[in-house]
Amino acid sequence: MASIADDPFGSSPDMKKYAQGLRSGYKSEFEMARALFDAVKDDGKLGIKYSYSSVEPREHGTKTALDVWKDKSGDCDELTGLYNALVKLAGMKGAQGFAGIGYANVDIDYRGEEVGHMCAVVFIKGDVPEKFRYKDFEGNKKFRESTLKTAGIADSKDMHMVLVDLTYEQFGAQHKKISVLNEKEALAFYYWQAGTGFKAGGRAQVAEKCFEKALDYAKGSARAQVYMSEGNNYAERGMAYRAIGKTLEGVASGLAHRNDMKYEQKVQPKVTLEQDSKNTEKRIKKWNYLAPKTDGGAAACMKLGRKYLITKKYDKALDYFERVLGFDSKNMPANYFAAMACKEKEDYGGAIGHLKKVVAVDDSHADAHYWLGVSYLKTREYGNAAREFEKTLKLAPDYPYAKYNLTLVKMYDKARDSGKIIAESAKHMDPSVLMR
C-alpha cells in the first residue's frame, strides 16, 4: 500500500547500533565519513546495490533511508539518504550545518557530462587530505560563501567540504557543476521526488499530497518546480482549472526567485514532446529494448508509452505498455496507463481489464477505482460503477466528480428500471467525457 513517509531520513535501532559501533573504531570525522562510504557504496560492505527502476512500485514513492537499509538497494538519491542518516547516527562531533551533511544535485559530473544525479556532502572541520577536498569550495570564494550560507555554517575557519558519491563509488568526487541542499531543501526534494514517483505510477491523489508537503519546505526555484509538477498532475487528470492555477503559481514563484537572485537564465533549446519521443524510441531500438527483458528495458518502454499517451498517439502508447506487461503482467503503472490509453480509444472493456489488475495489486488506488467507475458507467454496468465510485469516495472523500458521477449512476439505474434511459442522453449527461 502506498503511503507518504513521515520521516524520510529516519532510522531504526539496528541502524543506530551499526553506526555507533563503527564510530568506536575511528578517531576522526574524516575517517568515519570514509568508513561509512565504504559500507554504503554500491556493492560495499553492507551489500547494498545501486538499483533504479521507474517500473518497480515503491511504498513511499521514493525510498526512505530505512527502506534502503531493509531492501539493500536504492538509486542515487536513496543511497545518499541512507548515508546521511548513518552519519547523523554516528554522532560526528566536528560536523556542522545539517549534522555535518548535505545533498548535492549534480548537473555536470566529473567527466563533463550532463546528468541528473545526487550525492552526499560532508562538511569537516580540521585535517582533510587535499586530494579529497572539493576544489571549488577551496578555491572559489563566491561558491564557498553561498554553500556555507545554505548549510547554515557560521564558523568557516578550517572548514572543508567532501563530495561522497555512493553510485559513482568516489569519496572526494570532483563534479564540475553542483548545487548544495540543506535539510529543508533536501526534504522538499524528497517529497517532490516521491510525488513524481507516485505520479508515474498513476497515483495522482497520493502524488498531490506529496507535492503539498514539498511546498512546506521548498523555496525559490524549487518551489516553482513543485507548483509546475502539481499543475501537470492536475492536467493529466483533466482538472484544467486547478492545473492552470498551480501553473500560474509556479510561474509567479519562478519570476520572484529570478528577481531576487538577479541572474540571467540560460535559454535551453526547446524540444517538443514529439521530438523527445522520437529520440527515446531511437535509444530503445539501439538498446534492443523493444521486447524488454530487464527492469531498465521496461522503464524505457514505460517512458515512451507515457510520452505517446500525452501526445494522444494512443495505439503506440498501448503498444509500449503491453511490451512492459509482457515482461511483468502485474506491473501496476503499466496496467494503469494502458487503461488510460484504452479509455481514450473508447475501449472501456480493455480499460476495465487493466484497472482490475491495478486494484488487485493495490486496492487503495483511488484513481483506478474512479476510472473503473467511469468505464462501468460507459458500459452501463451501473451496479459495478456505483460500487467503484463509493470506493473512490471512501479512499478520497473530495475526489473530483466521483460524488456527482455516483448520483448520476443511481439516476441512470433508476431510469433504466423504468425504461426511460436512452444512450444519447447518457452520452451528453456524463461529465466524465470532459475528463480528457
Q: Rounded to two decimals, what is the model's pTM?
A: 0.61
Q: 97 lies in a domain?
A: yes
Q: 356 lies in a domain?
A: no
Parallel, antiparallel, or unpaired: how do β-strands 114-125 and 159-165 relate?
Answer: antiparallel
Supply the range of the domain harboring residue 196. Answer: 186-261
Q: Are residues 62 and 177 in the same domain?
A: yes
Amino acid (1-letter code) at residue 28: S
- pLDDT of amino acid 6: 76
pLDDT, tens digit, 9 for 90 and up, residues 276-292: 556 656 655 554 445 55
Residues 6 or more apart whose CB falls under 8 angstroms from that of 401 comprise 370, 431, 432, 435
- Of the three residues 131, 154, 181, the one that is the final residue of a domain is 181
Burial label, 259 (beta-carbon count in 10 A; 0-12, 13-18, 19+): exposed
Q: Are residues 72 and 43 in the same domain?
A: yes
DSSP state letter for 98: B
Q: 344 lies in a domain?
A: no
pLDDT, tens digit, 9 for 90 and up, residues 228-282: 666 665 555 545 445 555 555 555 554 444 443 333 333 334 445 555 556 656 6
Give the whole-angstrom CA distance, residue 53 versus residue 329: 16
Q: Are residues 27 and 166 in the same domain?
A: yes
- Of the three residues 121, 152, 181, the one that is the final residue of a domain is 181
For residue 279 the three cell numbers come to 529520440
Other beta carbons within 10 Å of 243: 18
Q: Are residues 111 and 133 in the same domain?
A: yes
- Of the three residues 239, 261, 283, the one that is the final residue of a domain is 261
pLDDT at 143 over 80: yes
Q: Are residues 405 and 314 in the same domain?
A: no
CATH number at residue 314: 1.25.40
Q: 5 lies in a domain?
A: no
Give the whole-angstrom CA distance, residue 373 versus residue 365: 13
Q: Are residues 81 and 208 in the same domain?
A: no
- Number of folded domains that form the chain: 4
pLDDT, tens digit, 9 for 90 and up, residues 161-178: 999 999 899 999 999 999
Q: 348 lies in a domain?
A: no
Q: 352 lies in a domain?
A: no
Among 113, 264, 129, 102, smallest CA distance to 176 is for 113
Parallel, antiparallel, or unpaired: how do β-strands 170-171 and 101-108 relate?
Answer: unpaired
Q: Are residues 165 and 27 in the same domain?
A: yes
Q: 350 lies in a domain?
A: no
Cβ proximity of 351 and 343 under 8 Å: yes
Burial label, 436 (beta-carbon count in 10 A; 0-12, 13-18, 19+): exposed
- pLDDT of amino acid 293: 56
Q: Is 385 left (phi over 0), alpha (psi -120 to 50) or beta?
A: alpha
Q: Are residues 159 and 223 in the same domain?
A: no
Q: Are residues 192 and 161 in the same domain?
A: no
Q: 403 lies in a domain?
A: yes
Give the whole-angstrom CA distance, residue 319 versus residue 276: 18
| Strands, E assignment, 142-269 | 159-165, 170-171, 177-181
Residues 6 or more apart whose CB falls under 8 angstroms from that of 372 comprise 352, 355, 356, 359, 384, 388
Query: What does the pLDDT average to over 315-335?
Result: 87
Above pLDDT 90, what percent of the chain? 19
Cα 353 off chain centre by: 27
Q: Are residues 33 and 176 in the same domain?
A: yes
